Amino acid sequence: MTFLDKFFKLSDNGTTVRTELLAGLTTFLTMAYIIFVNPSILGDAGMPKDSVFVATCLAAAVGTLIMGLYANYPIGLAPGMGLNAYFAYAVVKGMGMPWQAALGAVFISGCLFLLVSLFKVRELIIDSIPPSLRTAIPAGIGLFLGLISLKNAGIVVANPATLVSLGDLHQAPAVLATIGFIVIVALDRLKFRGAMLIGILTVTVLSFFFGGNHFTGVFSAPPSISPTLFQLDIKGALAMGLINVVLVFFLVELFDATGTLMGVAQRAGLLKNGKMERINKALLADSGAIVAGSLLGTSSTTAYIESAAGVQAGGRTGLTAVTIAVLFLLCLFVAPLAGVVPAYATAPALFFVACLMLRELADIDWNDTTECVPAVITALIMPFTYSIANGLALGFISYAALKLLTGRIKEVSVVIWIIAAVFLFKLIYLGG
């Protein structure tokens, strides 16, 4: 037995080093866009983009390494998309808060996460989630992934009259993404290992001929991180009365990460009796990543739903996560190459995973409306509001309300009542 096999328990999880490396590369390719998107969004908040680029790569690497080496889960972490948008547009630009104080609020929320994780409060919350909502979470994440992938492929576009509509299917992104999706499904059906990776690489190669894609260079020295490193202003965050901001960060981080961890773990077959065996280690890794990210100079770091792509490619252990982390570190030195894979090249893989995750809906008790209705609400609200947290909020509230109104209060745990009440308070007084 090799060191890697023994340390990551590869044989026990029915996987190999080659499979884990391929899975890590697959997940990395689906989430590598964040190293370009995050600096752009936080740059709108007045943060130096070059420094945010470095902070993004380092935060992703540190968080994912902790997840892989400590929790031994095949889950990648990086600054969250919804969280960075809230940070930049709601807190900094909307409320007029300095980005340094906003980083301070992220740091405080991360410390709170560490505390509730150490005392296993988060684990208690997750274990108290009813089976119907637990089943709806991966399905909702699947729908969310589906929307993201269709948007990235240009197949679904914004429309002022109908919110969304069909894009121009004559454009290269839509055509190439469709080809990639067909390739992935066919190869997966034929039991090809790394089917999604092959699909992603196929579309990337075709993009050089038909999509106007091109190399912008190979190597570049990492920019300085000094402008954002340790620039958080904790005193400023507290002095400016950011309790509401901290609460929102805390709630969104909690349920985005929780939903993602459970969804990916269920897809990987890593749940035992509906529970994650090393959930507290995974939660501590997630919490530590938030704190590390705020110190480096980026918005909240969280578990990525794109990890489901690597899981589908066979990833089952922390070796997948370590691979992802190493690739993020390499991006510091070969930043131009990280932009070679266009978003529409990873879209087919995400859409394929979305299709598979929707199978979870079959396990819902459709004969009991107090169970299936909250589950459907949870699953649908996630993509329609572009937020996993919103889906969970309305799912918990509707579940508690229906049980109350039908005289089945005893079926709802105390934890669920508390969560529903907190979410209701947030929606009423703090908005969505």
- For the chain, what is the domain count? 1
The average pLDDT across 217-224 equals: 79
Max mean pLDDT among 210-214, 267-271, 339-343 falls in 210-214
**pTM listed for this prediction:** 0.74
Q: Specify if 287 maps to a domain.
A: yes
Q: Specify if 155 maps to a domain.
A: no
- Looking at residue 323, what is its pLDDT? 96
Beta bridge partners of 276: 271
**What is the three-class DSSP state of 33?**
coil
Is residue 188 pLDDT above 80, yes or no? yes
Confidence of residue 165 (pLDDT cuts 50, 70, 90): very high
Confidence of residue 6 (pLDDT cuts 50, 70, 90): confident
Confidence of residue 274 (pLDDT cuts 50, 70, 90): low
- Looking at residue 432, what is its pLDDT? 56
Confidence of residue 372 (pLDDT cuts 50, 70, 90): very high
Q: Specify if 48 maps to a domain.
A: yes
The residue among 355, 1, 393 whose CA lies nearest residue 147 is 355
Q: Specify if 405 maps to a domain.
A: yes
Distance CA 14, CA 11 (A): 5
Beta bridge partners of 163: 159
Q: Specify if 154 maps to a domain.
A: no
Q: Specify if 28 maps to a domain.
A: yes
Q: What are phi and psi of 430, to 5 degrees?
A: -115, -10
Distance CA 273, CA 224 (A): 47
Tell me which residue range forms the domain holding 71.
Answer: 13-149+167-354+361-430
Of 200 and 172, the structure prediction assigns the larger pLDDT to 172
Cα 355 to its chain centre, rounded Å, is 17
- Residue 344 near residue 153 (C-beta atoms within 8 A): yes
Q: In 8-80, where do the E strands start and end?
A: 77-79
Of 387 and 221, the structure prediction assigns the larger pLDDT to 221
Is residue 358 pLDDT above 60, yes or no? yes
- Looking at residue 76, what is its pLDDT? 94
The average pLDDT across 86-95 equals: 82
Amino acid at 333: F
Q: What are phi and psi of 186, to 5 degrees?
A: -65, -45
Burial class (CB in 10 A: 0-12, 13-18, 19+), 232: buried
- Looking at residue 218, what is its pLDDT? 65
Confidence of residue 284 (pLDDT cuts 50, 70, 90): confident
- Looking at residue 242, what is its pLDDT? 60
- Looking at residue 152, what is its pLDDT? 86
The average pLDDT across 112-126 equals: 79
Confidence of residue 394 (pLDDT cuts 50, 70, 90): very high
Confidence of residue 430 (pLDDT cuts 50, 70, 90): low
The average pLDDT across 389-416 equals: 90
Rounded to a whole number of angstroms, the distance between the first and last alpha carbons of the chain is 51
Q: Specify if 3 maps to a domain.
A: no
Distance CA 266, CA 268 (A): 5
- Looking at residue 391, what is its pLDDT? 84
Q: Specify if 176 maps to a domain.
A: yes
